[in-house]
A and B are shown apart, each in its own frame.
Chain A
């Protein structure tokens, strides 16, 4: 039941931000919604209900490193599309390696105490 609730709340949060992004122009501004904290809102809300504020604090701290990895990921996608003329699907999938590398790297170096 818990995971059904997670699925519905997460899906709804992501859809709302994606819908807003679809309506806005220029495209670079709409792209801001690609980095909206939609999954975070749902997950942190559930974490506070299920656990406690300390649990959410630890998740929030780790999310900072995840956001830094997202910055690197997005730049990598942009470069693959513009410089190497890749299509969006392979570019966004291959760049996930960069996200994983940076996120786990920062987690090991800076976030190990969390």
Chain B
């Protein structure tokens, strides 16, 4: 299975990190409400897609990865940056799903509000997963091609297996 649930990653986090993210999320929602009431619904609507907690999330991911590598005696700075970059790549793909949520909500909310939320969430999930799956499949193919080019005599099956992990 490509996607896995891992509870071990929760152990690497501290309780105050969850409180910090809760506070940032709450602050972003309050700020969006203030902007909407002072500058109008349209301008406030832009801030529904503000990456308010992304700064905190990406920084935590980098720090966790660095800590994990340092405990193994390695310099984890580069791995930390790569982990944060992968998270950003996922967010880029998820933003297409977010546009799907906004589009379906915009279409439906004046007809049926609950349906607008439900369809919006289904759109976000379906579009995000579909785009991520296409992106990942292409990434694996490009890597396999590059490996085959660099090592034409190598075992292709072995390479393909190592790429899916």
Contacts and interface: CB of A to CB of B under 8 A. Distances in A.
Nearest to B45: A62
B87 A31 contact: yes
Contact of B45 (A38, A51, A59, A85): A59
Contact of B59 (A10, A23, A89): A89
A41 B117 CA distance: 8
A58 interface: yes
A24 B6 contact: yes
B27 interface: yes
Contacts of A28: 86-87, 89-90, 93, 132, 135-136
Given A3-B30, A15-B25, A31-B90, A70 B46 contact: no
- Give the interface size class of chain A: 35 or more
A87 B81 CA distance: 6
A88 interface: yes
A70 B45 CA distance: 13
B3 A32 contact: no
B98 A37 contact: yes
A9 B32 CA distance: 13
B7 A23 contact: yes
A71 interface: yes
Interface of B is mostly: helix
Most chain B Cβ neighbours within 10 Å, of A30, A45, A75, A107? A30
A65 B95 CA distance: 11
A27 B3 contact: no
A75 to B, nearest CB: 5
B53 A63 contact: no
Nearest to A73: B51
Given A28-B136, A60-B102, A74-B89, A87 B44 contact: no
A86 B41 CA distance: 35
Given A10-B26, A22-B9, A31-B90, A15 B21 contact: yes
Interface in B114-165: 117, 120-121, 124, 128-129, 132, 135-136
24 contacts: A6-B30, A22-B10, A23-B7, A26-B2, A28-B86, A28-B132, A30-B90, A34-B54, A34-B88, A34-B91, A36-B124, A37-B124, A39-B47, A59-B45, A62-B41, A63-B45, A63-B106, A73-B54, A74-B51, A74-B89, A77-B58, A77-B84, A81-B82, A114-B42
